[in-house]
Amino acid sequence: MGEKIIEVKDVWFKYSEKVTALRGVSLEVAQGERIALIGQNGSGKTTLAKHLNGLLKPTKGDVIVKGMNTKETPTHILTNIVGYVFQNPAHQIFTKSVYEEVAYGPKNQGLSKEEVDERVKMALELVGLSGYENVHPYDLNYGQMKLLTIASIIAMQPDVYVLDEPTSGQDHRGRRKLMKLIDRLNREGKTIIVITHDMRFVAETSERTILMARGKIIGDGPTEEILLNTELLRQTAIKPPQIVQLCEGLRKQGIDLHALTIQEAYQVLRRKLAAS
């Protein structure tokens, strides 16, 4: 694991006198980690994520990004380190062409025309949207729009990617594409933080899972540990992946089976069948 890139120290956040969204959240993120941030709507996931790039500043406590306290650092410096991909692509897209959309970030970083073009080319290739440069973003389908919003963040070459609900509205093929893309970015040493309700996606993509409820972190550990802790999940009304539910049910029938994904369950069953 790489060195510490983000440190969240006892952070509290109030949207107003009455609404406290974070209640003493602490965590550390190392460069190159793949983290899933899960919890019900209103649990504080998005509020926490928006603290990582300085979109929100703590009411109490500190967030340190690459050694810089977000309270004392201009947001544009932080957003170059932590890229945030919004859930609804329409909330992010604001230009008239795919090229403009992706070029906006690197242009603002003060890069030359050649460098900007280079970045756009690279980012569109990575997400599979080469050839769409002159298309209006709203003429893309929903899945492509999502990929476009990711490309516009890739073009800024941040160290950390925060992806808010990347699989919503995606089909099987879109999910596979996303998984490959996340793998690729992670292999290049990028840190990936995915905010999601999609437990199957969590099981298949994240090493570490952070579970939030009522503005607090109530679970933080290897994904396996969190998703197999059905008691903990039930407190938050999150349904574990179907395979985890299957294993839980079979264990009650006296069959010892622990697995997160279809492949894992298959391997365990295969070994058991071969042994008998």
Partner 1 sequence: MVSNEPIVVYENFSYSYPTTPNALVDINLEIHRGEIFGVIGPNGAGKSTFCKSLNGLVPHFYGGTMKGRVLVDGMDTFEHTTAELSTKVGLVFQEPETQLSGLALTVEDEVGFGLSMLGFPAKLIRQRAREALEKVGLKGFERRSPFELSGGEQQRLAIATVLAMKPEIMVLDEPVALLDPIGKYEVLSVIKEIAAEGSTIVIAEHEIEELAYFADRILVLNEGRMVSLDNAKMVLSEVEKLKKIGVDPPSVTELAYLLEHDLGIKLEYPITLPEALKIFGELMEGR
Stretch that binds partner 1, among 28-36, 108-116, 127-135, 233-241 (CB under 8 A): 233-241
Instruction: Pick between residue 218 and residue 269 the one whose CB is nearest to partner 1.
Output: 269
Residues 143-172 that bind partner 1 (CB under 8 A): 143, 168-172
Nearest distance, CB of residue 231 and partner 1, angstroms: 17
Going by their DSSP bridges, the two strands 208-213 and 191-195 should be labelled as unpaired
- Residue 179, both tokens: 């998984």
By beta-carbon proximity to partner 1, the closer residue of 100 and 198 is: 198
Query: What is the total residue count of the chain?
Result: 276
Interaction between residue 275 and partner 1 (CB under 8 A): yes
**DSSP codes, 82-147:** EEEE-SSGGGT--SSSHHHHHHHHHHHTT--HHHHHHHHHHHHHHHT-TT-TTS-GGGS-HHHHHH
Question: C-beta of 199: minimal distance to partner 1 in Å?
Answer: 9
Q: d(Cα 145, Cα 40) in Å, to the nearest integer?
A: 25
Report the phi/psi class of residue 193: left, alpha or beta, with left for phi > 0 and alpha for psi in -120 to 50.
Answer: beta
**Residue 205, interface with partner 1 (CB under 8 A)?**
no
Residue 229 interacts with partner 1 (CB under 8 A): yes or no: no
Does 92 sit near partner 1 (CB under 8 A)?
A: no
The smaller minimum CB distance to partner 1, of residues 26 and 134, is found at 134
Contact (Cβ atoms closer than 8 angstroms) between residue 276 and residue 255: no
Stretch that binds partner 1, among 49-57, 93-101, 104-112, 245-253 (CB under 8 A): 245-253
- What is the token pair recorded at 82? 């932590």
Which positions touch partner 1 (CB under 8 A)?
40-41, 141-143, 168-174, 197, 200, 237-239, 241-243, 245-246, 249-250, 253, 255, 257, 262, 265-266, 269-270, 272-273, 275-276
